[in-house]
Amino acid sequence: MEKGIERSIEEKIQRIKAYWDGVLSPEEEAEFSRWIDSSPKNKALLDRVQDERVWLEKIHFRERNDLERGWHGIQKKMQKRPMLFVRLMRYAAMLVVVMLTGLIAFSVWDDGKGDDLKLGVQNETLSAKGGYKAYLELTNGKRLELDSLSKLETHVEGAVIKAEDQGTVIVHEQQGDSLVESVEYNRMIIPRGGEYKIVLADGSQVWINSQSVLEFPSRFTGGERRVKLKGEAYFEVSRNESKPFVVEVEDKEVRVLGTQFNTSDYKGSFVTTLVSGKVQVRVGDADYILHPSMQARVESGKVVVEKVDIKEFTAWKDGLFVFKKKRLQDVLDILSRWYDVDVFYQNLDLQDLHFTGTIQRHSNIADVLKFLEKTNMVKFTLKGRTLIVSK
């Protein structure tokens, strides 16, 4: 790593991002830790990158100053407006998106057959899209890179693992006595801008979202089927009443017999949404039972259980973004993981705008930004992999 990470400041920052995203192998993590400990400057850079504004430093200084001067002028004008007007405009923005959802969705989905939208999304990277990307780390030490065309077969203790096209990995359990008594976990790592599906040894299917890690055994032994998740995944669990299926998410657990549900835990924001069947969610020492269309989430250390529209939380598996009165910050957090961009707000008040609408998940990022700009309340400038949000 030393040779590579010393090459440029951009590569150092990218390696730090990979460390936080959990996409480094154990060997790379150990080497990264040695690099951090080798110099106070490296530690200082790690601390500095924690502020999202560091990504703006990759933008040309002159371009940045021009943008900031224009924004300061807008801020002065807005400061003269009464707060009631600002609030009304925010809700008006939400209403405009609701009214325009059908038109915008058609424009994004028509595969170029309709007229192009002329909406002034400034960008330098128009082709940014998410897709099938993953790294598979096996208990035998192999580390495989996967994409939409990957086809391979490899053997691990107790199973054969096959990668097929269209982003699917299948674990085939082999009958016979295992030489390994303890449970060992393989890792499916999905970087930003990626997604992948895996069929586990028991037939359960898991769709793994971007910036996520699923740890799974090659075969399920003992009295339960346990996997570990960081990030987000949608589960269709094969029913087995004698062997519960358990998803371990940091210090929380989701326990089921056979059901469909979505679980996410980005930045410590834990959310489990049940589609069918019944699940038991354990947070600390407390258990919560969910029925279809119910959700359990942790907010400010407290567990909230309520009924929700499940499409908003599961549509990503079927290739859609569904936003319902969602804060701009939450929307862009989702988009930043999928399109692998870093977001910089010229004014933090913009984070509280709300949006409603549906967009195809595999749309070009420029089309998605056009969708959001339809409110006339926000503007986007895409410079490389940095997205600047302004008014």
Q: What is the pLDDT of residues 307-316, one digit of tens each?
A: 999 999 999 9
Question: CB atoms < 10 A from the CB of 17, how many?
Answer: 17
Band (pLDDT 50/70/90 cuts) for residue 8 is low
Beta bridge partners of 164: 168
Alpha helices in the chain (DSSP H): 2-5, 9-21, 26-37, 40-49, 61-79, 83-109, 311-314, 328-339, 365-373
- What per-residue confidence (pLDDT) applies to 34? 85
Residue 370 has which token pair?
């056009």
Residue 304 has which token pair?
């909230």
- What per-residue confidence (pLDDT) applies to 50? 54
Q: How far apart are CA 216 and CA 139, in angstroms?
A: 10
pLDDT digits (tens, 9 = 90+) for 45-80: 776 665 544 444 444 333 444 444 444 544 444 444
Say if residues 380 and 388 touch (Cβ distance below 8 Å).
Answer: yes
Q: How far apart are CA 35 and CA 310, in angstroms?
A: 44
User: Cα-atom radius of gyration of the chain, to the nearest Å?
Assistant: 23
**Which residue has better confidence, 247 or 301?**
247
Once rounded to an integer, what is the mean pLDDT over residues 359-366? 90
Q: How far apart are CA 368 and CA 359, in angstroms?
A: 7
- Walk me through the domains of the chain, giving residue ranges and CATH numbers: 10-45 (no CATH), 131-175+182-313 (2.60.120.1440), 319-390 (3.55.50.30)
H-helix or E-strand spanning residue 269: strand 269-276
Q: How far apart are CA 265 and CA 102, in angstroms?
A: 31
- The dihedrals phi and psi of 91, each to the nearest 5 degrees, come to -70, -30
- What per-residue confidence (pLDDT) applies to 11? 67
Residue 26 has which token pair?
């154990």
Sort strands 205-208 and 194-199 into parallel, antiparallel or unpaired. antiparallel
Q: How far apart are CA 314 and CA 62, in angstroms?
A: 42
Q: How far apart are CA 300 and CA 268, in angstroms?
A: 10
pLDDT digits (tens, 9 = 90+) for 319-362: 999 999 999 999 999 999 999 999 999 989 999 999 898 989 99
Q: How far apart are CA 284 and CA 341, in angstroms?
A: 34
End-to-end CA distance of the chain: 41
The set of residues, in sequence order, having a beta carbon less than 8 Å from that of 230 and lying 6+ positions away, is 22, 212, 213, 249, 250, 265
Beta bridge partners of 155: 160
- The dihedrals phi and psi of 67, each to the nearest 5 degrees, come to -65, -40
**Which residue has better confidence, 299 or 200?**
200
Is the confidence at residue 179, as pLDDT, over 80?
Answer: no
**Which residue has better confidence, 274 or 68?**
274
Say if residues 383 and 53 touch (Cβ distance below 8 Å).
Answer: no
Q: How far apart are CA 84 and CA 91, in angstroms?
A: 11
